[in-house]
A and B are shown apart, each in its own frame.
Chain A
């Protein structure tokens, strides 16, 4: 299968290792990966902060870049949520001929990374080896918008040597929320503190998630508090091998 990677704007700049891991895994599974270089951003940050017209411009670019793709892989549930929850409405509001139809046919071909593996490619065991105790942070968009359920956990359970542990109040938000963490930095920090407590109580060495945005937020506090726990995107764990 030819899979087009939408790496997302923040992974591109801040977490290139995640993108590399996705490429490695998909190629290991025998697929051809394509990275359309004209891609930039899904428009989520603008949309969520109230800048809809900027978001629309970014959506147009996304659609024109990926219109022909067979399958699009996105290693970020919040970006996929942006597309699934808001693209159609945004397209309907814009008076660009054909845009709505394009969005409608493109959306079913877009998969979040763990979804792509479990639903579309039908694999759970990709031969990874990661001999560590890992706690999975369930991000809000993965949970409530994409309804990923146990898909990420199923992938992790097949990793050799890995022990998966559950945090208390695992379904609570980490307090990131994009520009929320800037506009309401104090409240965001208070929510984060509660989250960190639950994660650290598990004693795990690594905290993983399907979103680097949450992990950047969680990891920022873990690092500041000089804890031993580190953060790693699900793809980077799955890309390991013996």
Chain B
């Protein structure tokens, strides 16, 4: 089995990727604007819920319970789905999932698919697999369409084209949709997309969707969205294939009550999503007459085995932690080298795929805790980041310079005698870098710090020396 998360394996480390992105002022402007708007909206609609914390706790408990009994619920889901006329396929990894999906489409001789709302398909790079099998995928979620037309990577898990502004989108549409002219008002852009998509909705015979929730009790799938394109994709085609990460299971239909309150408020700051689609198997004479669910593992069962970071799988992909994160708000999603970005990406990606490729991610956080505070299912992201950092260090994968610095600090702090020697050494060590009362430039690991900040020079007398002097004076 080989686990892949989009293109993550080939991405540069977070600090390097971030450095490049930080110099893009347009991107940073778009980011700040977009995240601020969603953040404010979220705050407003969360504040009107007196039982918000209870809902969070309940969601946390439900998810916890599911993960402890995932095997049971998955089988229950399969049985219920099959009973309702659906087919269920189990995929261990990305390649297997792609093979299953491509096979189903080829069996019918279809050459095109319409897709909607599935990050998981980006995780397994389904579009690449489809294209190499001669099948053309059309993204129908507006933001996904923008990303696809631009040959781009998503930069946000809810608003994948967050890094693009209206002007850029207009240019892209003009170019890629072969239009003669196009206005730049939101109405103009959505109208162009509508024309482009409608024609495909009516023509294409296979739809591919993701799932927000898969309900074990009934075998139903639930997808929430704002545009109605998912409704089109899941009702118009002859065949519907739904790709579901195995952690998306919830036990009962009535559990939706909790999640459908939490998700839209956290994701887009709406009280309810404009479109909530729930379907169960096949309904004769209405909607797709062939329905397949592909249940994807791709590293998830491995995460499940670690009790302390298992909660990573609770995520309902609302994106609230991204909008709240001071790091994400500066760099955007591309710095994370994975389709999963922001705080959740920083814990999910390195667990899904081998740590070597992504061990800079758990350090891409100031541990400010804003993510934990907004997370609707109460994932203690900082705690999991710390766990992953510790794993990197224990595996001996931390940089040598850091290991030496940390060891030296540990020795210096091992007792008051060595500490005083270290204090004296620090005072001596700063001399070559001191200018007036400040340190303006430092070498090596600390060079980044002094690029934009001074460091105050170390005072002549430490607190402990002052204290001792005072005690001596008192004793006299």
A interface residue numbers (CB < 8 A to B): 7, 9, 11-17, 19-20, 35, 37-41, 45-52, 54, 57-58, 61, 86, 140-141, 143-145, 171-173, 175-194, 216-217, 219-221, 223-224
With both chains docked as a complex, state the minimum distance between the C-beta of B443 and any C-beta of chain A, in angstroms: 13
Distance in angstroms between the alpha carbons of A144 and B281 in the assembled complex: 45
- Candidates B19, B368, B426; contact of A177 at CB < 8 Å: B368
Answer yes or no: B419 CB below 8 A from chain A CBs.
yes
Are A46 and B410 closer than 8 Å at their CB atoms?
Answer: yes
- Closest residue of chain A to B412, judged by CB? A40
- Residues from chain A with Cβ under 8 Å of B453 in the complex: 189, 192, 217, 220-221, 223-224
Distance in angstroms between the alpha carbons of A192 and B88 in the assembled complex: 50
- Candidates B22, B410, B438, B463; contact of A12 at CB < 8 Å: B463
Answer yes or no: B168 CB below 8 A from chain A CBs.
no
- Closest residue of chain A to B393, judged by CB? A50
Are A173 and B416 closer than 8 Å at their CB atoms?
Answer: no
- Closest residue of chain A to B461, judged by CB? A16
Are A184 and B18 closer than 8 Å at their CB atoms?
Answer: yes
14 residue pairs from A and B, CB less than 8 Å apart: A7-B464, A46-B409, A49-B389, A50-B392, A50-B394, A50-B398, A180-B363, A183-B15, A183-B363, A186-B15, A187-B327, A189-B448, A221-B452, A224-B452
Interface centre among A183, A187, A220 (most CB of B within 10 A): A187
Are B386 and A48 closer than 8 Å at their CB atoms?
Answer: yes
Are A189 and B451 closer than 8 Å at their CB atoms?
Answer: yes
Answer yes or no: B30 CB below 8 A from chain A CBs.
no
Distance in angstroms between the alpha carbons of A173 and B330 in the assembled complex: 12
Answer yes or no: B109 CB below 8 A from chain A CBs.
no
- Candidates B369, B370, B406, B419; contact of A46 at CB < 8 Å: B406
Distance in angstroms between the alpha carbons of A179 and B445 in the assembled complex: 10
- Residues from chain B with Cβ under 8 Å of A37 in the complex: 416, 464, 467-468
| 17 further interface pairs, Cβ-Cβ under 8 Å (given A45-B406, A216-B455) | A13-B426, A13-B463, A14-B456, A16-B462, A19-B466, A20-B463, A46-B409, A49-B402, A50-B390, A50-B394, A51-B406, A144-B372, A190-B22, A190-B331, A193-B452, A194-B330, A220-B456
Are A187 and B18 closer than 8 Å at their CB atoms?
Answer: yes
- Candidates B367, B452, B464; contact of A189 at CB < 8 Å: B452
- Candidates B391, B414, B438, B446; contact of A57 at CB < 8 Å: B414
Are B406 and A144 closer than 8 Å at their CB atoms?
Answer: no
- Residues from chain A with Cβ under 8 Å of B327 in the complex: 184, 187, 191
Given that A182-B448, A184-B327 are known contacts, is A175 also in contact with B366, CB under 8 Å in the complex?
yes
Are A144 and B370 closer than 8 Å at their CB atoms?
Answer: yes
Distance in angstroms between the alpha carbons of A9 and B463 in the assembled complex: 10
Are A172 and B363 closer than 8 Å at their CB atoms?
Answer: no
Are A40 and B415 closer than 8 Å at their CB atoms?
Answer: yes
- Residues from chain A with Cβ under 8 Å of B446 in the complex: 182
Given that A184-B15, A188-B366 are known contacts, is A223 also in contact with B463, CB under 8 Å in the complex?
no
- Closest residue of chain B to A18, judged by CB? B463
- Residues from chain B with Cβ under 8 Å of A57 in the complex: 410, 414
With both chains docked as a complex, state the minimum distance between the C-beta of A13 and any C-beta of chain B, in angstroms: 5
Are B438 and A144 closer than 8 Å at their CB atoms?
Answer: no
- Residues from chain B with Cβ under 8 Å of A176 in the complex: 366
Distance in angstroms between the alpha carbons of A180 and B368 in the assembled complex: 11
- Closest residue of chain B to A43, judged by CB? B413
Are A184 and B464 closer than 8 Å at their CB atoms?
Answer: no
Given that A57-B410, A220-B455 are known contacts, is A51 also in contact with B393, CB under 8 Å in the complex?
yes
- Candidates B389, B410, B423; contact of A50 at CB < 8 Å: B389
Distance in angstroms between the alpha carbons of A73 and B168 in the assembled complex: 55
Are A191 and B366 closer than 8 Å at their CB atoms?
Answer: yes
Interface centre among A47, A179, A186, A221 (most CB of B within 10 A): A186
Are A11 and B463 closer than 8 Å at their CB atoms?
Answer: yes
Are B416 and A38 closer than 8 Å at their CB atoms?
Answer: yes
- Closest residue of chain A to B426, judged by CB? A13
- Residues from chain B with Cβ under 8 Å of A145 in the complex: 369
With both chains docked as a complex, state the minimum distance between the C-beta of A118 and any C-beta of chain B, in angstroms: 22
Answer yes or no: B454 CB below 8 A from chain A CBs.
yes
- Residues from chain B with Cβ under 8 Å of A14 in the complex: 456, 458-459
Are B365 and A40 closer than 8 Å at their CB atoms?
Answer: no
- Residues from chain A with Cβ under 8 Å of B426 in the complex: 13
- Closest residue of chain A to B427, judged by CB? A13
Answer yes or no: B238 CB below 8 A from chain A CBs.
no
- Tell me the chain B residues, 357-393 only, with Cβ under 8 Å from chain A: 362-370, 372-373, 386, 389-393
- Residues from chain B with Cβ under 8 Å of A39 in the complex: 416
- Residues from chain A with Cβ under 8 Å of B138 in the complex: none
Given that A187-B18, A191-B326 are known contacts, is A173 also in contact with B464, CB under 8 Å in the complex?
no
Are A180 and B454 closer than 8 Å at their CB atoms?
Answer: no
- Going nearest first, the 8 A-B pairs with the smallest beta carbon separation are A185-B448, A177-B366, A220-B453, A50-B389, A173-B368, A50-B393, A140-B368, A19-B463
With both chains docked as a complex, state the minimum distance between the C-beta of A42 and any C-beta of chain B, in angstroms: 10
- Candidates B22, B409, B451, B459; contact of A16 at CB < 8 Å: B459
- Residues from chain A with Cβ under 8 Å of B19 in the complex: 186
- Residues from chain B with Cβ under 8 Å of A17 in the complex: 459
Interface centre among A20, A185, A216 (most CB of B within 10 A): A185
- Residues from chain A with Cβ under 8 Å of B391 in the complex: 50
With both chains docked as a complex, state the minimum distance between the C-beta of B381 and any C-beta of chain A, in angstroms: 12
- Residues from chain B with Cβ under 8 Å of A52 in the complex: 390, 393-394
- Candidates A20, A171, A216; contact of B456 at CB < 8 Å: A216
- Closest residue of chain A to B325, judged by CB? A173
Interface centre among A15, A171, A180, A193 (most CB of B within 10 A): A180
Are B410 and A185 closer than 8 Å at their CB atoms?
Answer: no
- Residues from chain A with Cβ under 8 Å of B330 in the complex: 187, 190-191, 194
Distance in angstroms between the alpha carbons of A178 and B366 in the assembled complex: 7
Distance in angstroms between the alpha carbons of A9 and B368 in the assembled complex: 21
Distance in angstroms between the alpha carbons of A190 and B448 in the assembled complex: 12
Interface centre among A11, A19, A50, A178 (most CB of B within 10 A): A50
